[in-house]
Structure 1
Amino acid sequence: MVRVLSNKIQKDELKPGDHIYSWRNLYIYAHHGIYVGNGIVIHFTRGPGQETGTGTVLDRFIFSSFPSDPSKTPCPICGDQSKSDGVISSCLECFLYGGELYLFQYGISPAMFLAKARGGTCTLARSDPTEDVLHRAEYLLQNGFGAYNAFKNNCEDFAIYCKTGLIVFTRVSVGRSGQAGSYLAAFDAIASSPLHFLTTGFVGLTAGCGIYCISRIMSDIGVRRDVRKIPVERLVTHSR
């Protein structure tokens, strides 16, 4: 029952190939990565100059996946990564950046998916074998994962691709990220229902919750129809 409310795990529970995350900025956004063993995480970060983000002021406050702290002594393992971008390798402590450790869940039931009202914590899609996950992560560490975009190609998208090999092939929708999906689902719930129904009365709240849940589950990588399984070598070649 505890795991229904939280995906928090202890460091000694980690296994190579795990998709992990840690919340940032007062739980507004979570940063995701793939644990590869020996205390190392491969993850996709934003960096100055090369990654597109949302193209708005929100990038500075919400979508910073690797906060910069000029007063902090560089990590003896990772060095100074405050200006790193793209796919990088970090020790677990640098990845967490003082946050707590959570395990992203795969292959859960629709009921469990909806019980976790916050997006970016789980998916109905099933994970591939560990060796495939690690191969994708290591390959992308050497070859990159394209330009960062908060809604179409972010750190969660990177980790989900490493775990499943699934890629969204349409240009008009969001990527695989459950976080982006939940924000858009909330927008759909508000836009689709008159405001006074959402703010007054049980029926209005129920309708709003129903729209939010349907939008979330329909955007999940495990049920979407606009995805294909793409080998990592082909993905990198296509993105260049």
Structure 2
Amino acid sequence: MSVNIPFYHPIDKEVEVFENVYQNKIPFLLKGPTGTGKSRFVEYMAHKLDKKLITISCHEETSSTDLIGRFIIKGAETIWIDGPLTKAVKEGSILYLDEIAEARPDVIVAIHSLTDHRREIYIDKLGETIKAHEDFMLVASFNPGYQRGFKELKPSTKQRFTALSFAYPEASQEIEILIQETNIDPDIAKKLVKIGNKIRNLTELGLAETVSTRLLVDAAKLIHTNLPKRLAVKVAIVEPLTDDLEIAEALTDLCNLMI
């Protein structure tokens, strides 16, 4: 049976770094804007290392109970169900906490003993301490620029991880990513990347987020399936970036001149 290998274009030494961090059983923090390939990189490395990957997309309701586990009623019995964190610790999987700063503070507390020399988790509802499997690895991602001042990781938490910053690829690399991901015509890929870089440099617009590689890939997919180029750029790039009608109109006009 064929296995789909996640496509990832290495930018620098991140593959080598990940392999060494994994070998040394150190938690790993990936920093960078949305859509720079952090999640895809983790998928790629889990495949490369032949390890099961458990991903948790953190949000403001994500609690330690969601991760560790809970008692449930089944028939006439009350039974314990392991959460994804406990499963990963026991079976030696890679646990990926995507956007960890979005989770509730008790999640950070719950993983503290996994991020130092102890590599263990205490389940207070069971009164048990579980040592992490030799192959267990904790990976988290964090967007430092998102809602700055509101959802930040404490310095003491950051220092429990090794860390690597992700940025948008160089133009030539981003063009190759679009072509590999979507089979888009190289000339159109070049135009999409130019649009992305142009908008990224328009800091005066005050956009909360800028054009991610993910948005460019989405636009390329739509164009490849024969949606008109300008419409594809509008719905995949412009509209997700802003709800301001004037800014959206200005961006649409700009993109129409470039595609």
Query: Does the pair score TM above 0.5?
Result: no
Larger radius of gyration: 2
What TM-score do the two structures reach when normalised by structure 1?
0.28
What TM-score do the two structures reach when normalised by structure 2?
0.27
